[in-house]
A and B are shown apart, each in its own frame.
Chain A
Amino acid sequence: MIGNDIVDLNLAAVQNNWERKGFLDKVFTKYEQDLIFSSKIPFTMVWILWSMKESAYKIHVQQTSKRFFNPKKLQCKLQSETEGVVEVNGEKYVTKSGINNSFIHTIASLKNNKKILSTTFELDDTSYITQHKESYKKLIGIVSKKWKLAVKDIHIKKNKVGVPKLFLNNKKLSTSFSISHHGHYGAYAILN
């Protein structure tokens, strides 16, 4: 299984005030808060940790079929700025992040999986519906190319806990994948 999350740093800077009273305590453990305040750019560390939590949560929901909202429960440990582990309810997920000036993209998997196909892309239109459609189109495009299937036969439908699943005509495919979009950026990750 796989999860991924992308954070548009320019959007995050205006959309969320991480310095707002109460925000850090709701989201981050003491250990994570120490990481934030000891890092050179606390803002970046906030969103590295956030995307680690979010990508790990996406796998956890696939495994348990139970949704919840408690980011603090997903506990991060960092081996380096780009590699870490997230632990929740006794489960551990390995994360890898790509960081640049524009975005942070994190992929979470069950073990250090090398067979991951992942891409980030730019989105012109930042309206949610357009981004959503565009991201689905990108994923369907790559699935079509990779497995030589007709685009028109491939669909994505969300299950009852909101996890997207791939369908070939009406047959559910077992392909594990994850889609994310935020602001001007989108991303997907597929397990080969």
Chain B
Amino acid sequence: MTKEELITSLKKIVKPYIQDEDAFEKLSENTDFINDLKINSANLVDVILDVEDEFDIEIDNEAMEKMLSVKAAMEVITTKLKEK
């Protein structure tokens, strides 16, 4: 999976939870889920669960700890996909 495909797929996952449309339109690797997209922290749990479902991976709490940005989420997904 290319970086672009990964970003597209993450963009689809976060869409229902975002509270800042402008930041969502400009979504890039550097986008922060909470500071930029204003995703409610309880909904960030949903994002993590949706990522698990979409990629059929399991994200342990240690990996989840870092998942505050698109970039960090991409790293975690890539690592977990390799472990499969």
Q: Do A and B bind each other?
A: yes
- Using a CB–CB cutoff of 8 Å, the interface residues on chain A facing chain B are 12, 15-16, 20-23, 26-27, 50, 54, 67-73, 127-129, 158, 162, 182
> Which residues on A sit within 8 Å (CB–CB) of B43?
15-16
Chain B residues with CB below 8 A from A128, complex form = 19-20, 38
Q: In this assembly, does B64 line the interface, its C-beta being within 8 Å of a C-beta of chain A?
A: yes
Does B25 touch A at the CB level, under 8 Å? no
Question: Range of interface residues on chain B?
Answer: 20 to 34
Measured in the bound complex, the distance between the Cα atoms of B42 and A165 in whole Å is: 24
Q: Mark B31-44, 1 if CB is under 8 A from A, else 0.
A: 00011001011111
| B52 interfacial contact with A, CB 8 Å | yes
Contact between chains at B42 and A26 (CB < 8 Å)? no
Asked if residues A69 and B49 are in contact (CB atoms below 8 Å), the reply is no
Q: Tell me which of A69, A127, A162 contacts B67 (CB under 8 A).
A: A69
Nearest first, the 8 A-B pairs at minimum CB distance are A128-B19, A70-B65, A68-B65, A16-B42, A128-B38, A22-B49, A70-B61, A162-B35
Closest A residue to B40 using CB positions? A15
